Chain A
């Protein structure tokens, strides 16, 4: 299928992208790797008037570790995350989750920023960033601001980014404690039916595809903090979720799965 006609501007820096968004208004859409957006455009489920292509903003690409913080440019590809020795040492959960996104071709083009800004509850990386307690850096006409990952995902495919804001980067704490990512699906290439990301032995728990947004399993985190074992902590994994229904799973099955996968993730993470 073929996308509807669309305008196109290139923005090779954050500033240029912010300016372009300001100029073209609400119907403009940022294009990073395009791995989420272009399929939606082909199905004509997304019909932006203008694409603001940030693909060449190379200063938004890269991973750096400074003290206890890992900073990642928004345009860093999943593949770069997957293969980064630095990230594997500083935050193995994030490197591993990146390696579980889509397939190799998708990982070559898809970007961390694009995945987070798309705010798809079925995506892997948002849950990992939630579990890690990450911070997102947004740049708008008035400058940059930081948004806690917990506050970033506001609705189905909606984020806290303003229409003229660009997600420039992500910061996560160095996290080498026990971690696990349990992705449950029927085919390797598919989105998770349910996914659970656990960081620091259960201090952070992010859930995939358990509601209209990527979720943090606060009740599980609290239980772990309170000394509960994996099984007891996981029992509350479905609390506060509103899982969707689709061909693969209804809400009750997802609630069952999220408890099972959370327990497995906590055990694997040494909780």
Chain B
């Protein structure tokens, strides 16, 4: 069926099977490969995007469910004047190594600081419980999210 999704500010339309996962729609139909897939069970968060401004795991959502929605992927985060403050903070704090979890982690973090105000380190850690990283041990990720939320 035809779905029409506003992705990174642009209306994108495609004909998809109902079973098409949102993440495959983004990656395979729209060529937005920044959103990664790390698991089958909604556990790792590598595929996190913003749906109507809130984090969602795009592997646990069908493209048809996003019909009419506003989706932001990692490709849509940086503005004309450079990286988004969260991306900048990840860079400054060395909050990424292999970078595979990073797009999802950044999107989850952007949503997190928007949703919860005045977070401390424990709050950030709890809030990122659904995003796994195997490289960093999280210390610098927490630092980056706190820095970006100031």
User: Does A pair with B?
Assistant: yes
Binding site for B on A (CB under 8 A): 1-8, 31, 34-35, 38-39, 41-43, 51, 53, 55, 79, 83, 102-106, 108-109, 187-189
Say if the beta carbon of B126 comes within 8 Å of chain A: yes
**Is there contact, CB below 8 Å, between B129 and A8?**
no
B56 CB contact (under 8 Å) in A108, A187, A189: A108
Number of B interface residues, CB 8 Å?
32
**Is there an interface contact between B43 and A108, defined as CB atoms closer than 8 Å?**
no
A104 near B42 (CB under 8 angstroms)?
no
- With contacts A6-B18, A39-B41 taken as known, whether A34 is within 8 angstroms of B130 at the C-beta atoms is no
A51–B17 CA distance with the chains assembled, in angstroms: 12
A106→B59 CA distance, assembly (Å): 11
Q: Which residues of A contact B40 (CB under 8 A)?
A: 1, 39, 42-43
Residues on A with C-beta less than 8 A from B129 are: 103, 187-189
Hey, which chain B residues are within 8 Å of A42, CB to CB? 21, 40-41, 59
Chain A residues near B108 (CB-CB < 8 A): 104-105
Given contacts A104-B130, A108-B111, could you give 14 more A-B pairs where the C-beta distance is less than 8 Å? A8-B1, A39-B40, A39-B41, A53-B64, A55-B65, A79-B115, A103-B45, A103-B129, A104-B115, A105-B55, A106-B130, A109-B56, A109-B60, A187-B129
Determine the chain A residues whose CB is within 8 A of the CB of B59 once the complex forms. 42
In the complex, which residues of chain A have a beta carbon less than 8 angstroms from the beta carbon of B35?
none
Give the shortest distance, in Å, between B147 (CB) and chain A (any CB).
20
| Chain B residues whose C-beta falls within 8 Å of the C-beta of A102 in the assembled complex | 42, 130
Contact A105 B126 (CB under 8 A): no
Interface set, chain B 30-89, CB cutoff 8 A to A: 40-43, 45, 48, 51, 54-57, 59-62, 64-65
Residues of chain B with a CB closer than 8 A to A35's CB: 42, 60
- Taking the closest CB of chain A, its distance from the CB of B37, in whole angstroms, is 10
19 A–B contact pairs at CB < 8 A? A5-B18, A6-B18, A7-B18, A8-B62, A31-B65, A38-B62, A39-B41, A43-B41, A53-B64, A55-B65, A83-B115, A102-B130, A103-B131, A104-B112, A108-B51, A109-B57, A187-B129, A188-B126, A189-B43
